[in-house]
Amino acid sequence: MGKQKLKGKDLRKLPFKTNEQKSLAINIMAQHYKHLKKHDKLDLLSAILAQPKNYENDKHLKPLVNTLLPKVVHQNFTSYLLNEEARAFKIYGKKFIDQKAIKQMEVAMKLPVATKGALMPDAHLGYGLPIGGVLATKNEVIPYAVGMDIGCRMALSIVDLPPIELKKNAYQFKKALKEKTHFGRTKRNDRWYDHAVLDRKEFEESPLLRSLKDKAAQQIGTSGSGNHFVEFGLVELPDNNQMQLPKGQYVGILSHSGSRGMGAAIANHYTQIAKDVCRLPKGAIHLGWLDLDSEAGAAYWSSMNLAGDYAKACHEVIHQNLLKSIGAKAVCTIENHHNFAWKEKQANGEEWIVHRKGATPAQENVMGIIPGSMTTPAFIVSGKGKEDTLNSAAHGAGRRYSRSKMKSDYTRSDLKQALQQAKVTLIGGDIDEAPHAYKNIHDVMDAQQDLLKIEGTFSPKIVKMDKK
């Protein structure tokens, strides 16, 4: 029976235009037409592609047919002008921030729905909203201000192994990273993991989420490309830390990744809807918003939260696999999102939607992790709850140089030298993520002392990233 199951390569000769259509076709055939032979399934799909209108009333085929028929727009759009003056916003570490990022934040603060904003010391130019930008609205969500990698997050496991193990059994730790972690845009797991997030009812709430469920199942426990990583290192904790662990050194596992292809698909889909219904001037067109009381706004909010929980689940699988591989248990786990939107009560009693595009939640005593680079420490922090930043802080060191500049101005030899000096082993990775690409993490942390208390540090020792 398995030989009759359709795969992506079987659809190559059929004129599907999008991956969403292919995923829907495979899922529908698997669920409702499993009795057909493969060639009969392909004949049926060919007929649907040729005359989709003939199948629009079929309850099983309708989700696929809807993507093939011409779109009928029933919802009117509204055009908006930006305010002449940007609302004032707090900037931390201004001397470390490029003027282009500040100008980009000023555009966002001219949106008629913007109520408050802030810029973190790791800020740099992004898409729509600068990385390190925080933006509040009253009841509107801006998909592009959340970003493409919904729920991108940090996760740290502090492990019950003596620190000497990291050096003594370095081979075993390297082997665990090589065998138990997977990276890349299209990289999928070689096995399926049974995680509760995959049983969530939200996957049945829309054709989009239904089409993404199989990919989510295959990619769970994997990491993205770019600046995403999984690493072993040494955790240093002082006296009286908030984790209530004894002072000293510990082995740690630190990971940085998001919601994979699922989050990107949700972001693309709802950003386009927001742009269609909310028309803005050039320079701000991607910052279209959805009212949370609208059908599309509610659907995005539900999808965004599902993607955030899926990102959390990916980290859980990564850490579980690594802990099992090295024969250890976690004595403490710390984690936080940094590409997300939250409903948060303000001092005046109002509830606002707070978008943090590359910014860490820093409410009073809320824990988080702020990484540096592959050769510099990450900081375990607790928030101080500062209202002028909407209870936010930096999410990392922040890029100093673009990927293209790194590739043109630096070499693999420069990267190798930096790794040797820091006594760090790198698996995968490339020059565009070399330590030189990032701001000085100590400058970034010094610039936000009012926002955070440092509870400990994590120093990377064995790092794995996507290999170009």
Among residues 396, 305, 299, which one has the least CA distance to residue 343?
305
Average pLDDT in the 99-120 region? 97
For residue 289, pLDDT beyond 80: yes
Q: How far, in Å, CA of 46 to CA of 160, rounded?
A: 57
Q: Which helix (H) or strand (E) holds 460?
A: strand 452-465
Are 254 and 377 in contact, with CB atoms under 8 Å apart? Answer: no
Do 151 and 26 fall within a single domain?
Answer: no
More confident residue, 7 or 91: 91
Which of 46, 68, 90 is the last residue before a domain boundary?
68
- CA angle, residues 128, 131, 132, in degrees to nearest 5: 125
- Residue 193 belongs to domain spanning: 145-465
pTM: 0.83
Do 224 and 315 fall within a single domain?
Answer: yes
- Number of domains present in the structure of the chain: 2
- CA angle, residues 177, 178, 182, in degrees to nearest 5: 85
Q: Which two tokens stand for residue 418?
A: 């930096």
Among residues 365, 361, 334, which one has the least CA distance to residue 453?
365
Task: Write the CB contacts of 103 (distance below 8 Å, at least 6 apart in sequence).
Answer: none
Do 59 and 181 fall within a single domain?
Answer: no
Task: Answer whether residue 93 is part of any domain.
Answer: no
Q: How far, in Å, CA of 428 to CA of 189, rounded?
A: 18
Q: How far, in Å, CA of 23 to CA of 99, rounded?
A: 43
User: CA gyration radius for the chain?
Assistant: 23
At 36-94, the pLDDT tens digits run: 999 899 999 999 999 998 898 888 898 899 889 886 555 588 889 999 999 999 999 99
What confidence category does residue 184 fall into, taking pLDDT thresholds of 50, 70 and 90? confident
Which of 23, 51, 68 is the last residue before a domain boundary?
68
Are 364 and 347 in contact, with CB atoms under 8 Å apart? Answer: no
Are 424 and 396 in contact, with CB atoms under 8 Å apart? Answer: no
Average pLDDT in the 328-352 region? 94
Strands (E), 171-308: 229-237, 248-257, 278-279, 290-291
Are 166 and 232 in contact, with CB atoms under 8 Å apart? Answer: yes
Q: Which two tokens stand for residue 442?
A: 């100590």
Do 444 and 307 fall within a single domain?
Answer: yes
Do 226 and 325 fall within a single domain?
Answer: yes
Are 345 and 124 in contact, with CB atoms under 8 Å apart? Answer: no
Task: Answer whether residue 125 is part of any domain.
Answer: no
Among residues 376, 147, 361, which one has the least CA distance to residue 270?
147
Do 279 and 426 fall within a single domain?
Answer: yes
317 φ, ψ to 5°? -65, -45
Do 162 and 17 fall within a single domain?
Answer: no
Taking the chain, what is the end-to-end CA distance rounded to the nearest angstrom? 38
Do 149 and 55 fall within a single domain?
Answer: no
Q: Which helix (H) or strand (E) holds 178?
A: helix 170-180
Task: Write the CB contacts of 323 (distance below 8 Å, at least 6 apart in sequence).
Answer: 157, 159, 253, 329, 330
Do 219 and 328 fall within a single domain?
Answer: yes
What does the pLDDT read at residue 190? Answer: 61
Task: Answer whether residue 38 is part of any domain.
Answer: yes
59-68, 288-297, 349-358, 368-377: the lowest-pLDDT one: 59-68
DSSP 242: T
Q: Which residues of 305-316 are buried (b: 16+ CB within 10 A; e: fewer)?
A: bbbbbbbbbbbb
What confidence category does residue 294 fall into, taking pLDDT thresholds of 50, 70 and 90? very high
Q: How far, in Å, CA of 210 to CA of 237, rounded?
A: 44
Average pLDDT in the 417-424 region? 95
Task: Answer whether residue 61 is part of any domain.
Answer: yes
Would you put residue 467 in left (φ > 0), alpha (ψ -120 to 50) or beta?
Answer: beta
What does the pLDDT read at residue 453? Answer: 97
At 140-178, the pLDDT tens digits run: 999 999 999 999 999 999 999 999 999 999 999 999 999
Are 419 and 425 in contact, with CB atoms under 8 Å apart? Answer: yes
How high does pLDDT run on average in the chain?
Answer: 93
Amino acid making up residue 161: L
Q: Which two tokens stand for residue 225?
A: 């490309």
Task: Write the CB contacts of 43 (distance below 8 Å, at least 6 apart in sequence).
Answer: none
Task: Answer whether residue 382 is part of any domain.
Answer: yes
Q: Which helix (H) or strand (E) holds 465?
A: strand 452-465
Do 61 and 156 fall within a single domain?
Answer: no
Which of 18, 49, 68 is the last residue before a domain boundary?
68
Pairing relationship of beta strands 114-124 and 339-345 according to DSSP bridges? unpaired
Strand partners, 369: 380
Q: How far, in Å, CA of 393 to CA of 455, rounded?
A: 15
Q: Which helix (H) or strand (E) holds 322?
A: helix 295-326
Most confident of 13-27, 190-204, 346-360: 346-360
At 78-95, the pLDDT tens digits run: 889 999 999 999 999 999
Task: Answer whether residue 123 is part of any domain.
Answer: no
Q: How far is CA 69 from CA 27, 40, 90, in A?
A: 19, 23, 48
At 193-228, the pLDDT tens digits run: 789 999 999 999 899 999 999 989 999 999 999 999
Strand partners, 232: 253, 462
Q: Which two tokens stand for residue 139?
A: 């009841």
Q: How far, in Å, CA of 234 to CA of 240, rounded?
A: 19
Q: SS3 for 133?
A: strand
CATH of the domain at 358: 3.90.1860.10
Q: How far from chain centre, in Å, is Cα 209?
A: 17
Task: Answer whether residue 73 is part of any domain.
Answer: no
Do 267 and 409 fall within a single domain?
Answer: yes
Average pLDDT in the 237-247 region? 94
Task: Answer whether residue 2 is part of any domain.
Answer: no
Query: How many Cα atoms within 13 Å fall on the side-chain side of residue 421?
Result: 10
